[in-house]
Structure 1
């Protein structure tokens, strides 16, 4: 009995001390900061009271044209089917976006037919998440900027469910403060353990400048920065009520960083396998086409593809038809436009400009035509989290030549019924050899491999995405409705 009395006395003393400490802290705060804190709390309380029965999709770039945007529209459609009573609201920084234009974009660019147009909330602070805003410490800058952008979004419209489809994990604690259930679809972690390892090993890549890689002192500083960021990223990510991930590789990294294994569900992204699987496996006999479908971003490593294609052309047997390489992608901003122009200049430098074609921001139906004529599809991003374009190649009957890492290696380019489904490569020589092997392949052998690849691609269909997606969100929806 005396032990219990002592226990409660200690608790009482602790609580009194805590409130006294808070009182002292408030008393010593500058009046301007105190006003700011009070204003912040009042806005949050107002937002919590005015929450709407809706799901808000935080997707600032609704014109990026990549696999992430496809996931957005398929996720909107899945919610419309699973909970028709929920409004679907898209937070976008594209000021010309309207409900009708976004619905039209979903069908024109991705073949996704929404049941009704989503509502739109326009954001005007998107510059705070653009990489050009942060020449240095870009990762932390964009992450903190996303909190500011999310503040604008949630102040304008507070939904019951906050759904991040762009990987802005730093916004999750704020959404929780506004009383939202936080759901996310994570294509890749903002930082991965592989990134930390590469900086430690002083490997030069698109996210590790050569100047830093060559300096022991700068590399050590960057390792400290990455380790600290990983710790913070783990904390904010753990605020998700449900984290859907797109591959085995992403699941492994997110699980280690966020430490919420019971709230992580693997849901492979929606790939248009049904629309592409009706294409004939036979290809035009004259000029073999090799297609590369990817946004014109640095991590997609288009230059490697050009160099490998150049090597393959030089090694090509005289009696074989000369192939052509077709780049199909989208540009988000001026940097992407410049990158595209640099690729064109590189093709001239390598003396293959007559064999290389560039297509920007194609409509979906045009992309299907290109895929239907390609004998192979090339992909070269290191640690591509999944690789929707690789699945699209396989579904369309184009032999995939993908990077030997992450999603393509772990989930996609695997044997189907004991039959090889494509090629994996890591450097210019390996890519060049794979290109040559496809071109030299007898037609019967190519058809056999293409058929196996197409069968495997069926594992990543849109229908499978809808089924797995709905199964993942159903417990969250049913729990909130009680």
Structure 2
């Protein structure tokens, strides 16, 4: 029996050593075979949101800044091909790549389930973060570039890329954990990222505070591994500076908004009926139910002599959970008795999005602590008066006065949103045109051209610094 235990221990130790040696050899081989390329880590290349627009605009900016660098896309979408990705960039976002990706420049990842939220019913945040390490290991073993560029917020992959000898830079849309999230848990506020069961329990809330505190400590360590961190707003910048402690390596680069094409749309809008557009992925944090509830309240309070508005919810569905959320919204519209005044548009083409924006007198947005708010800028550029959540990006960067004139409305509660909707409908044509013109002027500072210029200025020192 003793001999068998000794033999088992020897086999176990030998196996562990063999695996460790194998991993070391894989890393060394990766170091030796690093390609002159930028590896873009974006596991969901079909999410259809602002993050995907940033992806393709960033790829185009890199191609323009350094044509000698290949751009390799790490994707977990198994049906993604060079042609389909190039087509998505153009059809969904109007971005024409300078050099369409070649077959070898699309690296398929087969372990994406390890970053999917459904894999972790509990401790989702840390589960996805550690899962991203495994996914990044797969990516870098398959193709090791000189530069590793994360566009999806997987900060736990940065140490892995550093191990493979890559220069690491990222575009951070929002921190995985923020000080605001921690304060909500401490205050026991129920929200999409804080289950009501936990919020009601002092003990569970205490445990979650410890969990969040530990996670924020880990997040600060991995985030500090970035050689360059681009952030999309003042709100995100303030949080990343506090969490990662690398202020000198942080650059604010506002996301690319197609303001030029949208600004060509007429400011004059049809009021028969007045249309309110909502552009957002069908995700829980986008708070679509609040929009429908506010719309229902507004319809009840509108004077009878005023036109009945219509709301158009436009968004993409990433998975079955999003599809279910969309169906729940349709059911809610029926329950609120506003279904005759509500339209749903799923996974629309970019040309259709422009048409919908062009016909809207207002655009509604309801996510709390939206890191930036590309859709809010798009509303303003298209001449649709924004009704946005009074927090983070919309409040700090976007819906600000222009030449002393108001550019839109900020709201938080159902009542405040309803009042803003009513105010837009009640405006005279001259009042609406004046506000829409001021909003359009404000939106011009978030153009695609500005993104290209700021992005290239940020990455230039990384590309032309000879040190590794």
1:295-331 per-residue CA deviation (whole Å, 9 max, x = no partner) reads: 0000000000000000000001000000000000000
Query: Pairwise mapping of residues 424-443 of structure 1 onto structure 2 (< 5 A)?
Result: 424-443=410-429
2:353 aligns with one of 367, 374, 383: 367
Q: Structure 1 regions of 5+ residues with no counterpart?
A: 1-26
Q: Hey, which bits of structure 1, 4+ residues long, moved more than 4 A?
A: none
Structure 2, gaps ≥5 residues long: 1-9
What aligned pairs does 1:78-477 form with structure 2 within 5 A after superposition? 78-118=61-101, 119-477=105-463
For residue 246 of structure 1, report the CA deviation from its aligned partner: 0.1
Q: For 1:373-403, what per-residue CA distance to the aligned partner results, in whole angstroms no more than 9, with x for missing partners? A: 0000000000000000000000000000000
Query: Which residue does the alignment assign to 2:42?
Result: 59
Cross-structure match for 1:50: 33
Paired with 2:209 and 2:466, the residues of 1 have a C-alpha distance of 41
What is the aligned length? 456
Distance 1:53 1:100 in 2: 22
Shift of residue 480, structure 1, vs aligned partner: 3.4
State the alpha-carbon separation in 1 of the partners of residues 140 and 363 from structure 2: 41
**Partner SS for 1:374:** coil
Distance 1:39 1:253 in 2: 39
In 1, Cα distance between the equivalents of 2:122 and 2:23?
A: 29
Q: Could you tell me how far 1:101 is from its partner in structure 2?
A: 1.3
Normalized against structure 2, the TM-score is what?
0.96
From the CA coordinates, give the structure whose radius of gyration is larger: 1
Return the alpha-carbon distance in structure 2 between the equivalents of residues 456 and 92 of structure 1: 35
Q: Which residue of 1 aligns with 2:5?
A: none
Q: CA RMSD in A?
A: 1.2
- TM-score, length-normalised on structure 1? 0.94
Secondary structure class of the residue paired with 2:256: coil
Cα distance in 1 for residues equivalent to 2:50 and 2:314: 14
**Structure 2 CA distance for aligned equivalents of residues 253 and 262 of structure 1:** 14
Q: Tell me how far 1:34 sits from its aligned partner.
A: 2.1
**Are 1:77 and 2:63 counterparts?**
no
Q: Shift in Å at residue 33 of structure 1? A: 2.1
1:61-86 per-residue CA deviation (whole Å, 9 max, x = no partner) reads 00000000000000000000000000
- CA distance in structure 2 between the aligned counterparts of 1:165 and 1:66, rounded to whole angstroms: 12
Deviation of 1:481 after TM superposition, in Å, equals 7.8
Cα deviation, 1:157-189, whole Å, max 9, x if unaligned, reads 000000000000000000000000001000000
The separation in 1 between residues aligned to 2:13 and 2:384, in whole angstroms, is 65
Distance 1:192 1:34 in 2: 39
